[in-house]
Amino acid sequence: MRESSVFGSVCSFNDAFLKHYRRPPRELRIKKSVEPSAIVLRLGYKPPYDWNAILSFLAQRAIEGVERVEKGRYFRTVSVDGAVGTVEVVPGERNCLVATIRISEVSGLLSIVARLRRLFDLDADVETIGAHLSEDLSLRPLIARRPGLRTPGCFDAFELAVRAILGQQITVVAARHLAGKIARLAGTKIPNADGLTHIFPTPAQLTKADLSSIGMPKARIASLKALAEAAMRDKKLLEPAGSYEDTIARLLALPGWGPWTAQYWALRALRDSDAFPESDVGLLRSPAVANGNGRLSPKELLRRAECWRPWRAYAAQHLWTAEGDARSRAHA
């Protein structure tokens, strides 16, 4: 097991790796016959950081076999740049998260670090964001209650695109169960490690899978197949190639993609701080924005959110989290 110092960015990690090993991460290999080595990295952030909130968000959406949250720890399988393995993330001391990465190819390490930083939103300046959003008197108490709240990203853009389609018009729990079925049906099976058994399917694997047995409408299955086929044809389909508008337009051109799906995906996968799914039911009915006027329309919510730019994604996360906190207090 090897342990690193704190890395406040992917660039600092790359520089430190180059200095220590005298070569970039992509040039290192671990022999495939050898058990994957455990590499422990401390990933820095600017405080405050609300670990409990982001862990709760991920726990509610954890795909069985692919992800797991237990005892304050996050686990998941990974497959990046030829590297296959698992990661475990826990909060550390001195403003960092500690990631234990077990992979077959060290060449994938840099990409995994970058993805973890996006997943846990480690590069956000929440003080600046919170100061701006607190100018809205309705949001101010939410910011004060959770000043370190982040917007969770994703580890894989295709995986999140599938999950966004699955989440249309059903509960978070139902969407999570469907994602687990897809992972077991079409994903790559790995030796059980910390309760992790599968790597989420690639576009190629999903195009070949028979999804008729997992209990989804035919139209939704068709949307998933169309997404996978489009991702195979265009390797940059789910990357920020061109303008933000171009990326969203490519998705909206696919069957089954509407504004909510595209904006939710952009919020988490593109890490767009201003993405805003204005038709989201939770946002429309939030007491903090309706101000006693009942449920807003999407157009009314967009007007209401104009003053939150360019941080509407963080405002949405505060509103979603406040709703979840209210439910927890009601059931306590």
- Three-state DSSP state, 42: strand
Task: Give residue for tokens 């959003």.
Answer: 133
pLDDT of 14 reads 54
pLDDT of 20 reads 44
Residues of the chain with pLDDT under 50: 2, 5, 19-22, 27-34
Q: Where in the chain is the domain with CATH 3.30.310.20?
A: 2-123
pLDDT of 35 reads 53
- pTM equals 0.88
pLDDT of 208 reads 96
Domain 157-331: which topology? Endonuclease III; domain 1 (1.10.340)
Distances (CA, A) of 77 to 133, 172, 209, 238, 265: 35, 21, 20, 20, 21
Cis bond leading into 310, ω under 30°? Answer: yes
pLDDT of 36 reads 59
The two structure tokens encoding residue 293: 């006027």
Q: Where in the chain is the domain with CATH 1.10.340.30?
A: 157-331
pLDDT of 17 reads 53
pLDDT of 328 reads 79
Task: Give residue for tokens 């209990």.
Answer: 215
**In one letter, which amino acid is 197?**
T
The two structure tokens encoding residue 44: 């820095």
pLDDT of 22 reads 44
Task: Give residue for tokens 């973890």.
Answer: 116
The answer for residues whose C-beta is within 8 angstroms of residue 55's C-beta and 6 or more apart is 69, 72, 74
From the candidate CATH numbers 3.30.450.40, 3.30.310.20, 1.20.1560.10, 3.40.309.10, the one assigned to the domain spanning 2-123:
3.30.310.20
Chain centroid to Cα 125, Å, comes to 18
